[in-house]
Amino acid sequence: MRVRIRFTKVGKVRFLGHRDLARIWERTLRRAELSVAYSEGFSPRPKLSFGLALSTGYESDGEYLDVELASTAEPPQLAALPGRLSALLPEGIDATAACEVSRSEPSLQQAVTSCSWLIDVVDVTVAEATDAVDRALAATELMLTRERKGKQVTDDLRPYLLDLSVTGPTPTGARLLAELGTQPRTLRPSELLAALDPPLDEGLVRRTHQWTTDDGARRELIPLDATSAQHDGERAS
Amino acid sequence: MSTLWTQLEPLLSKVQKPARYIGCEDGSLHPQPRAGQVGWLMTYPDTYEIGLPNQGLQILYEILNERDDAWAERSYAPWVDLEDELRRAGLPLFSVDTHRPAAEFDIIAFNLSAELVYTNVLNCVDLAGVPVRAADRRPEHPLIAIGGHCTYNPEPISDFVDLVVLGDGEEVVGEITDIVREWKASGRTEGSREQVLRALSQVPGVYVPSLYEAEFDGDRLVGIFPRYSDVPEVVEKRTITDLADWPYPKNQLVPLTEVVHDRLNVEVFRGCTRGCRFCQAGMITRPVRERPAEQVRNMVSNGLRRTGYDEVALTSLSTADFSGIERVVADTVNDPANCGQVSVSLPSLRVDAFTVGIAAEIQKARRTGLTFAPEAGTWRMRQVINKLIRNEDLYGAVESAYSQGWRRMKLYFLTGLPTETDEDTLGIAELANHCVELGRAHHKNPSVTVSVGGFVPKPFTPFQWFGQNTVPELYRKVGLLRDATRKSRGVQLKWHDPKATLIEGIMSRGDRRLGPVIEEVWRKGGTFQEWSEFFDHGLWVETMAAHGLSVEWYVYRHRTEDEALPWDHLSAGLHRDFLWQDWRDALDQVGLEDCRWTPCYDCGACTGYGVEHVVASAVPPAGGSQGTGQDLSAGDSVPVTIGGVRSSIGASTSTAGVGTS
Ligand code: SF4
């Protein structure tokens, strides 16, 4: 059975890296006494897969994790699972939903088509930020040169910029709301800010949603209205 | 309560590994101090990754937080990038638990386990906003305390610390708290700092350097004497008699980011009586105090359940000697609650087939590498250091390991040992080469990694009188080994930088005159000296010279029997004449059996303090025990076959003689 879990990463734990998070989840699942399936081979690892990595320092309301449970395991009570896990997780990491996904569904990496972000920019006025945003939206291309695998690569980011607006001022600058594409590769908020004209300085960044596309319609990976209880009910019937 | 978090947060976005500084570990506490409570900041003067797992620090953190009159938090040396940011922003050293400024604590207590961290202590004190020299501190400043193995010669850093704790900290931290609580209650008035230090000097196990005068006659130390008649002439270490009374840590901290030894650690015994003559840890932690096997099992199973770790280390100086080892291992491995996913590790493997058998029991899946520490290349040399492993013992262990699936062996050695000849040094290469040969019978590409460290003589060991090998001599020996292993496929040689060995040697047996040297090296930016990217040998050597101090005199010189040593006013219980006799025996290549199972030699560790070994088993562990000279296959009686038989005072294992020394 494959269980998909949504969780947060806010506050001090935003400074944890991706590997840190993986270790925390491994320990938490053991403490919750969920029988996770292990890989075969020389050094067996629990079968966990995370979605798109979140940069160290960013916060998130919507991180995802797929857990492969051992075939022999008792199916867990999905409705109770988020609460049970949250009690064992560090402050700032809370499981907010869980549901079963069939093994035939694409992996998290493949399923996510875009992410929504709240991006604070600092040392800038709302008007200045709005100008930069408008220029970006009006542009036909947004070129950025980055180092990838040791090579200088110049790409056009514009196709990945699905939506961008200024939501208002913050004590140190302005807040942007962005939807950035993730296929075939991911556009990161820091890359977007660097490509703006003029480039803006990044403050706190929070991922709010990870979206997938169903027959052309955008929806949250675990549908926001689909409570885990319903899923649980379905399976029990 | 005051927290610096909001000021720190923006800085953390600019530094490497910010997760080091956030706290939030499972098991961490968020004390809300009340007026009058004594605040302790338990500080490790190296990075979080190295400091977090430190068990001593975690034990005291819990014990203090259980008290009504105390609270404790933790701090670690910020890496150089954060230090720069802190200094630029005018922010101080902080606790990771609640991000409180260090100067808000009453005591900043450092755990010192290596000499090269001394400059980091100064740096942390300075970052805390406290004057680095104890003499410049005022009543409002925290007390600076140190504990850990380096405190058996604290003289080099005595200018910078207010108090030094010798030995086990479990009980003494409470006694210190009592006195500091009174001091707080009295308002810490002008001049009261001297009074509280005077009161602390009365606590057994507490050494207050400022209350002692070091007297020199030219170069020669005459002695270190108390300035006042009520201050003890000799400070004795503290020893807890029974580990069963101290099942700590009860809630081992589980870090959120990667650290060394990232696993459950359960201390199975403290102390060691094998009597390896180079080993300070073994000498200063006597006698052996085993934890009851039942308590170990509970700590293991509760700990695994609480932490979610899939690995537990049974820690001690020689875990295979633990009487309950086989059952504890079997119970852990076979516990159905662990679903077969839990591995047990023994950080210190004994060199014998029995130990490999245990290793096989616990490493069913991942048989990658095993580590042994024969320490010296020839039997003659091992008799000198009293590590009585025969070549056959090592070969038996290695053969057994290769035949059971391990492919990589790691062997630890020391070079620069007393009486060492080139034949002894080259013996290291011979052992390694032979081990690879043994491996070829079982695997295509067996490998042996030889790790060689330069020997640094330590206080309170029989080798404390020995003149350390020079840097060129250590390089020459490493060169011999390099030549001797170059052609052997499968043998890899690694060595510790002889220049670092030199600086460790200066601190190890140095005296108070080194204070200004340490301070100047720190002022010139010499922090994180344990890290090769920052280690600055030239800076140390130049600074020594600038202060008119001779490396030759401090490090390379043999000491004589009548020479006053900078730690003579401190005591780990060991009688000086026992150590001297053991030094003479070493030079005569005479071994000494383990006193756990043979008559007591009255070294003083038990007899002086009225304590005894606490061991569950009256006979050595099955499979034998090196150093007892017994038949390794029998694991039973203890014939005395090695070396001269020493006449001993107690006829059986230490009948608690009451303290006269
Ligand atoms: S006092 Fe005797 S029994 Fe105790 S550690 Fe020393 S030699 Fe061993």
Tell which of B12, B256, B407 to mutate to test the A interface (max A CBs under 10 Å).
Answer: B256
Q: Does residue B630 have a pLDDT over 70? A: no
Residue B632, pLDDT score: 33
Q: What is the pLDDT of residues B286-312, one digit of tens each?
A: 999 999 999 999 999 999 999 999 889
Q: What is the pLDDT of residues B81-90, one digit of tens each?
A: 999 999 999 9
Q: Does residue A232 have a pLDDT over 90? A: no
Could you tell me which residues are beta bridge partners of residue A9? Answer: A60
A-chain CB neighbours of B307 within 8 Å are 27, 31
The CATH number covering residue B423 comes to 3.30.750.200
Nearest alpha carbon to residue A4 among A25, A27, A30, A20 = A25
Q: Please give the average per-residue pLDDT across B258-282, as a whole number.
A: 94
Taking CA atoms, A114 is separated from A110, A188, A220, B422, in Å, by: 11, 11, 10, 68
Residue among B18, B309, B366 whose CB faces A15 most closely: B18
Q: What is the pLDDT of residues B214-244, one digit of tens each?
A: 999 999 999 999 999 999 999 999 999 999 9
Cβ within 8 Å, pair B19-A17: yes
- C-beta B603 within 6 A of ligand 1: yes
Q: Please give the average per-residue pLDDT across A198-215, as a whole number.
A: 94
List, by residue range, all CATH 3.30.70.580 domains of chain A.
Answer: 2-111
The CATH number covering residue B203 comes to 3.40.50.280
Q: Does residue A233 have a pLDDT over 50? A: no
CA distance B548 to chain A (A): 48
Contact status of A31 with chain B (Cβ, < 8 Å): yes
Residue B339, pLDDT score: 64
Q: Please give the average per-residue pLDDT across B280-290, as a whole number.
A: 94
Range of B481's domain?
A: 369-498+565-592
Three-state DSSP class for residue B190: coil
Tell which of A9, A23, A48, A59 to mutate to test the B interface (max B CBs under 10 Å).
Answer: A23
Higher-scoring residue by pLDDT: B616, B377: B377
B-side interface with A, Cβ within 8 Å?
5, 12-13, 18-19, 21-26, 254, 256-258, 262, 305-310, 339, 341, 365-366
Domain count within chain B:
2
Ranges of beta strands (E only) in B254-367 are 264-267, 269-270, 289-290, 311-315, 343-345
Cβ within 8 Å, pair B19-A20: yes
CA B643/CA B656 separation, integer angstroms:
27
CA of B605 to the centre of ligand 1 (A): 6
- C-beta B273 within 6 A of ligand 1: yes
Q: Please give the average per-residue pLDDT across B401-420, as a whole number.
A: 93
Residue B621, pLDDT score: 57
> What CATH architecture applies to the domain A2-111?
2-Layer Sandwich (3.30)
Residue B652, pLDDT score: 27
Residues B640 and B595: beta-carbon distance below 8 Å: no
Six-digit token string for A60:
């998130």
Among residues B236, B263, B287, which one ends one of the domains?
A: B236
Q: What is the pLDDT of residues A43-84, one digit of tens each?
A: 778 899 998 999 999 999 999 999 999 988 788 899 999 999
Residue B557, pLDDT score: 96
Q: Please give the average per-residue pLDDT across B260-281, as a whole number.
A: 93
Number of H helices, E strands in chain B: 20, 19
Q: Does residue A35 have a pLDDT over 50? A: yes
Mean pLDDT score of chain A, rounded to an integer?
Answer: 90
Q: Give the residue on A whose Cα is nearest the Cα of B22.
A: A12
CA B275/CA B594 separation, integer angstroms:
7
CA distance A216 to chain B (A): 38
Residue B46 lies in a domain: yes
Q: Please give the average per-residue pLDDT across B260-269, as a whole number.
A: 94
- C-beta B320 within 6 A of ligand 1: no
Q: How confident is the model at residue B620 (pLDDT cuts 50, 70, 90)?
A: low
Residue among A30, A35, A42 whose CB faces B310 most closely: A30
Task: Name every residue whose Cβ is closer than 8 Å to that of residue B305 and which is 6 or more positions away in sequence.
Answer: A31, B337
Q: By CB neighbour count within 10 A (0-12 exposed, 13-18 middle, 19+ buried), where does B170 fall?
A: middle
Cβ within 8 Å, pair B24-A13: yes
Q: Please give the average per-residue pLDDT across B120-135, as a whole number.
A: 98
Q: Does residue B157 have a pLDDT over 80? A: yes
| ipTM of the complex, rounded to two decimals | 0.89
**Which amino acid appears at position B12 of this protein?**
L
Q: How confident is the model at residue B634 (pLDDT cuts 50, 70, 90)?
A: very low
Q: What is the pLDDT of residues B341-381, one digit of tens each?
A: 788 888 777 787 777 777 777 766 566 678 899 999 999 99
Q: Please give the average per-residue pLDDT across A194-213, as a whole number.
A: 95
Question: Helices B471-486 and B422-440: crossing angle, nearest 10°?
Answer: 30
Cβ within 8 Å, pair A16-B19: yes
Residue among A35, A56, A90 whose CB faces B256 most closely: A90
- C-beta B57 within 6 A of ligand 1: no
- C-beta B507 within 6 A of ligand 1: no
A-B CB pairs within 8 A amount to 61
Residue B79 lies in a domain: yes
CA B182/CA B184 separation, integer angstroms:
5
B408-415 vs B447-454, strand pairing mode: parallel
Mean pLDDT score of chain B, rounded to an integer?
Answer: 90
Cβ within 8 Å, pair A43-B5: no
Q: How confident is the model at residue A216 (pLDDT cuts 50, 70, 90)?
A: confident
Contact status of A30 with chain B (Cβ, < 8 Å): yes
Q: Give the residue on B whose Cα is nearest the Cα of A205.
A: B13
- C-beta B598 within 6 A of ligand 1: no
CA B565/CA A197 separation, integer angstroms:
70
Among residues B541, B574, B592, which one ends one of the domains?
A: B592
Residue A25, pLDDT score: 97
Q: What is the pLDDT of residues B417-471, one digit of tens each?
A: 999 999 999 999 999 999 999 999 999 999 999 999 999 999 999 999 999 999 9
Among residues B185, B204, B236, which one ends one of the domains?
A: B236
CA distance A28 to chain B (A): 6
Q: Does residue B187 have a pLDDT over 90? A: yes
Taking CA atoms, B182 is separated from A91, A223, B138, B202, B209, in Å, by: 37, 61, 17, 15, 21
Percent of chain B residues topping a pLDDT of 90:
76
Residue B447 lies in a domain: yes
Cβ within 8 Å, pair A91-B341: no
Q: Please give the average per-residue pLDDT across B147-168, as a whole number.
A: 96
- C-beta B595 within 6 A of ligand 1: yes
Residue among B22, B26, B308 whose CB faces A12 most closely: B22
Residues B270 and B289: beta-carbon distance below 8 Å: yes
B-chain CB neighbours of A26 within 8 Å are 308, 310
Six-digit token string for B419:
């009486």
